[in-house]
Amino acid sequence: AQKITQTQPGMFVQEKEAVTLDCTYDTSDQSYGLFWYKQPSSGEMIFLIYQGSYDEQNATEGRYSLNFQKARKSANLVISASQLGDSAMYFCAMNTNNAGNMLTFGGGTRLMVKP
Amino acid sequence: DTGVSQNPRHKITKRGQNVTFRCDPISEHNRLYWYRQTLGQGPEFLTYFQNEAQLEKSRLLSDRFSAERPKGSFSTLEIQRTEQGDSAMYLCASSSRSDTEAFFGQGTRLTVV
């Protein structure tokens, strides 16, 4: 069984600054994928970034990067140059053995961007 | 709008009643997923379809929960004999074979009174 832990229930960041959201995972599988999703107050989950367990380089997508440390089983999300629209819930998730989007999610972190 | 569509957006029902939710995925997507999200938690996977075949249903919460995708297009999730603990957001997502990520709908919020 896999497990995702997000230890920060809430985070504040000043607009235009960078912020790191923590995620640790647990799985006995060798092949897995790690995802980050954003959930604004409207409710839909918006995909941000993906990292495969065999990817040697950290994933980046625009202002989002994933700090993947395999030995520590961590997959932290870094948001650079925070914007007011980044205020939302952020969820880390994983799949194993190429199980598509049958995902296990963490409990989430609420990010609040201050002007 | 070409995204994932869920109806209704909100549903209030009395305990013991049956409810059915509908999900219309993105048209070319053959994979469809249902999740449940309770307040303050991350989504919890329920079931998965590839075309009309339900390939994973062991995570449905009880035998009161069932899902169908009869023609491989839209899907329905039914909860029979609802209980107050069923109050949650029910999310649907879809993807194609080549997609890494899933595309989520805005969810159906169920309140059981």
| Cβ count near A22 (within 10 Å) | 17
- pLDDT score, position A56: 87
B7, B74, B19, B5 alpha-carbon torsion, rounded to 10°: -20
* Average pLDDT of the residues in A28-32: 90
Summarize chain A as % helix, strand, coil (round to 5).
5, 50, 45
Is the pLDDT reported for residue A19 higher than 90? yes
Q: What percent of chain B has pLDDT over 90?
A: 81
* Average pLDDT of the residues in B26-55: 94
Interface of B with A in 49-68 (CB under 8 A): 56
- The answer to whether A1 contacts chain B (CB < 8 Å) is no
Residue A98 burial by Cβ neighbours in a 10 Å radius (0-12, 13-18, 19+): exposed
Is the pLDDT reported for residue A39 higher than 70? yes
- pLDDT score, position A74: 97
CB contact under 8 A, A45 and B104: yes
- pLDDT score, position A70: 94
Tokens representing residue B72 in the block: 């491989």
Q: Which of A60, A42, A38 is nearest to A51 (CA)?
A: A60
Please state, in angstroms and rounded to a whole number, the distance separating the CA atoms of residues A27 and A45.
24
* Average pLDDT of the residues in B20-24: 98
CB contact under 8 A, A33 and B100: yes
- pLDDT score, position B60: 85
CB contact under 8 A, A103 and B45: yes
Please state, in angstroms and rounded to a whole number, the distance separating the CA atoms of residues A107 and A87.
17
- pLDDT score, position A98: 66
Picking from B104, B106, B108, B109 by the largest number of A CB atoms within 10 A of its own CB, the best residue to mutate is: B104
Higher pLDDT, A89 or A96: A89
